[in-house]
Amino acid sequence: MGTATVENPRHYKYYDLVMAGFVTVLLCSNLIGPGKVCLIWGITFGAGNLFFPISYIFGDVLTEVYGYARARKVIWAGFGAMIFATIMSYFVILFPVDPGEPFNERMQPALETVFGNTWRIVLGSIIGFWAGDFANSFVLAKMKLLTRGRYLWTRTIGSTMVGQFVDSVIFYPIAFLGLWTTGKMVEVVLFNFVFKVAVEAVFTPVTYAVVGFLKRAEREDYYDYKTDFTPFSLKD
C-alpha cells in the first residue's frame, strides 16, 4: 500500500525564482559546458562540471525548505527543459543554411561542435540528471526526518554524494562505454564524483544562508512525514 500524498497548497514568494535558477543552471551547464574541455593543474575536465553541481545546491534548498513534492515539480521542469533544448538544438543544426549569407558558413561548424553532441551523450545526460536529482532529493528529505531537522550539512553533503554517484554511474557508461577503456572511465567517474561533492562542501555556508533566508521569508520548513515519494507525480 502506497503512502498518501499530503497536499501542500500554499503559494510562496520565492519558489518560482528558485525553480528558474535551477533550470537555468541545468541548461547552461549541459548546453554550454560540454563545448569546452579545460586543463587546470594537469587535470582535464569538462567546463560544465564547474557549474553543474550548483543545480544540486538548488535541489537541496528546494527539498529542505519546500519539501520533496515541490522539488519533484522542479526536477520534472528541468527534465522537460532539457528535452526541449535537445530537440531545438537538433533542428537548428539540421536546418539548411542560407548560402547567400557568408556568416552562416562560419557559424554552422561552430554550432555543430557546441550543440551537436552524440545521441549517447544526450541520453546519458538526461537520464543521469533525472535519476541523480531524484536520488538527491529523496535522501535529503529522509535524512531531514531522521535528524529531526538538525545538522543541515550532513543532509546537503550526504544527499549530494548519493545523487552525484547515481548521476555519474549512469551518464558515463551510457555515453562512453566501448569508447573509453574501463580504467579511464573509472578514473573520470571518481574524479567527477569527488569534485562535485567538494563543490557542495565548499558552498555549504552559502547553502545555510540561502536556506535560512527562505525559511524565514516563506515561513516554511517542510517535513515529508506523509509524502508519497514516487517520482512519477506532480502533486504537491
pLDDT at 138 over 90: yes
Average pLDDT along the chain: 90
Residue 205 confidence (pLDDT): 96
Judged by average pLDDT, the poorest of 16-30, 39-53, 121-135 is 39-53
Gap between the Cα atoms of 216 and 72, Å rounded: 22
Q: Is residue 210 part of a domain?
A: yes
Taking only the tens place, the pLDDT of each residue in 61-87 is 999 999 999 999 999 999 999 999 999
**Higher per-residue confidence, 118 vs 57:** 57
Which amino acid belongs to residue 2? G
Residue 42's domain spans which residues?
A: 15-218
pLDDT at 190 over 80: yes
Taking only the tens place, the pLDDT of each residue in 11-34 is 899 999 999 999 999 998 888 776
- Counting the structural domains of the chain, the total is 1
Taking only the tens place, the pLDDT of each residue in 93-119 is 999 988 888 888 788 888 887 788 888
Beta-bridged to residue 40, according to DSSP, are 43
- Measuring CA to CA, which residue among 207, 90, 221, 228 is closest to residue 159? 207
Q: Is residue 204 part of a domain?
A: yes
- Return all residues near 207 (Cβ < 8 A) that are at least 6 apart: 57, 60, 61, 152, 156, 200
Confidence of residue 39 (pLDDT cuts 50, 70, 90): confident
φ and ψ of 14, to 5 deg: -110, -5
How crowded is the C-beta side of 234, counted as CA atoms within 13 Å? Answer: 5
Q: Is residue 1 part of a domain?
A: no
Residue 1 confidence (pLDDT): 42
Taking only the tens place, the pLDDT of each residue in 218-227 is 999 999 999 9
Q: Is residue 123 part of a domain?
A: yes
CATH code, domain with 142: 1.10.1760
Task: Report percent pLDDT > 70 for the chain.
Answer: 93
Mean pLDDT, range 149-157, rounded to an integer:
97
Q: Is residue 168 part of a domain?
A: yes
pLDDT at 5 over 70: no
Q: Is residue 66 part of a domain?
A: yes
pLDDT at 2 over 70: no
Mean pLDDT, range 191-197, rounded to an integer:
89
In three-state secondary structure terms, 7 is coil
Confidence of residue 47 (pLDDT cuts 50, 70, 90): confident
Q: Is residue 109 part of a domain?
A: yes
Q: Is residue 230 part of a domain?
A: no
Residue 14 confidence (pLDDT): 97
Residue 9 confidence (pLDDT): 65
**Higher per-residue confidence, 1 vs 148:** 148
**Higher per-residue confidence, 188 vs 170:** 170
